[in-house]
Amino acid sequence: MTPSSEPGADPLAALRHDLRTPVNHILGFSELLEEELADRGIRDGLEDLGKIRAAARKMLDIVNSSLGTESPKAPARRPAQHPPQGRVEPHSQPARTCGKILLVDDDDGNRETLRRRLEKEGHTVSEAADGEGALEALKAGGFDLVLLDMIMPGLDGEATLARMKAHEDWKHLPVVMISALDELATVTRCIEAGAEDYLPKPCDPALLRARIGACLEKKALRDQEQNFLRTIEETSNRLRADLEEAARYVVTTLPPETDAPLRIRWRFQPSSELGGDAFGHRALDSSRHALYLLDVCGHGVGAALLSVAATEALRSGTLPDADFTSPASVLSALNAAFPMERHGNMYFTIWYGVYDASTRTIRHGSGGHPPALLLVDGEPPRQLLASGMLVGAMPDTTYREDVCDVPPGARLVIFSDGAYELRRPGGGMIAFEDMISWVAANSRDEHLPEALIEWARSITGGGDFDDDVSVLTVDFPQSNP
| Helix locations, 67-107, DSSP H | none
Q: Is residue 232 part of a domain?
A: no
Give the strands of the sheet with 175-179, arranged side by side. 124-128, 100-104, 145-149, 175-179, 197-200
Q: What is the pLDDT of residue 238?
A: 87
Going by C-alpha positions, the residue among 278, 270, 221, 289 that lies closest to residue 418 is: 270
Answer yes or no: do 125 and 260 share one domain.
no
Q: What is the pLDDT of residue 82?
A: 44
Q: How far apart are CA 67 and CA 20, in angstroms?
A: 11
Answer yes or no: do 18 and 73 share one domain.
yes
Answer yes or no: do 151 and 286 share one domain.
no
Q: How far apart are CA 286 and CA 283, in angstroms?
A: 7
Q: What is the pLDDT of residue 99?
A: 93
Give the largest CA-CA distance in the chain: 119
Q: Give the 3-state secondary structure of residue 435.
A: helix
Q: Is residue 248 part of a domain?
A: no
Domain ranges, residue 186? 3-224
Say what the pTM is.
Answer: 0.59
Count Cβ atoms within 10 A of the Cβ of residue 387 and give its class: 0-12 exposed, 13-18 middle, 19 or more buried: middle
Answer yes or no: do 139 and 265 share one domain.
no
Answer yes or no: do 280 and 334 share one domain.
yes
Answer yes or no: do 16 and 60 share one domain.
yes
**Domain boundary at 204, 224, 244, which?**
224
Q: Is residue 135 part of a domain?
A: yes
Q: How far is CA 304 from CA 81, 193, 274, 327, 397, in A?
A: 73, 52, 6, 23, 24
Answer yes or no: do 60 and 131 share one domain.
yes
Q: Is residue 79 part of a domain?
A: yes
DSSP state of 109: H
Q: How far apart are CA 106 and CA 85, in angstroms?
A: 41
Answer yes or no: do 196 and 285 share one domain.
no
230 phi/psi in degrees, rounded to 5: -65, -40
Q: Is residue 311 part of a domain?
A: yes
Q: Between β-strands 469-475 and 411-415, what pairing exists: parallel, antiparallel or unpaired?
A: antiparallel
Answer yes or no: do 148 and 275 share one domain.
no
Going by C-alpha positions, the residue among 442, 440, 439, 351 that lies closest to residue 390 is: 351
Answer yes or no: do 407 and 445 share one domain.
yes
Q: What is the pLDDT of residue 151?
A: 86
Helix (H) or strand (E) holding 278: strand 277-283
CATH number of residue 100's parent domain: 3.40.50.2300
How many structural domains compose the chain? 2
Q: Is residue 440 part of a domain?
A: yes
Answer yes or no: do 204 and 272 share one domain.
no
Q: What is the pLDDT of residue 75?
A: 43
**Residue-level pLDDT, tens digit, the chain, 481 residues:** 444 444 445 566 656 566 656 656 566 656 666 666 666 677 776 666 667 767 766 666 666 666 654 444 444 444 444 444 444 444 444 446 789 999 999 988 888 889 988 998 899 999 999 999 999 999 998 999 999 998 888 999 999 999 999 999 999 999 999 887 566 788 888 999 999 988 888 778 888 888 899 899 988 888 888 898 899 899 888 877 877 787 788 788 889 999 999 999 999 988 876 778 999 999 999 999 999 999 999 888 888 899 999 999 999 999 999 999 999 999 999 999 999 999 989 999 999 999 999 999 999 999 999 999 999 999 999 999 988 999 999 998 999 999 999 999 999 999 999 999 998 888 889 999 999 999 999 999 999 999 999 999 999 988 778 889 999 999 999 876 5
Q: Is residue 242 part of a domain?
A: no
Q: What is the pLDDT of residue 437?
A: 96
Q: What is the pLDDT of residue 188?
A: 86
Q: Give the 3-state secondary structure of residue 68.
A: coil
| Distance from chain centroid for Cα 432 | 38
Q: How far is CA 144 from CA 147, 159, 214, 218, in A?
A: 10, 20, 12, 10
Q: How far apart are CA 182 and CA 397, in angstroms?
A: 87
Q: Between β-strands 145-149 and 175-179, what pairing exists: parallel, antiparallel or unpaired?
A: parallel
Answer yes or no: do 204 and 339 share one domain.
no
Q: How far apart are CA 125 and CA 74, in angstroms?
A: 26
Say whether the peptide bond before residue 408 is cis (omega within 30 degrees of 0).
Answer: no
CATH number of residue 322's parent domain: 3.60.40.10
CB atoms within 10 A of CB 375: 22
Q: Is residue 234 part of a domain?
A: no
Going by C-alpha positions, the residue among 65, 50, 71, 76 that lies closest to residue 19 is: 65
Residues 123, 147: contact at Cβ < 8 Å?
Answer: no
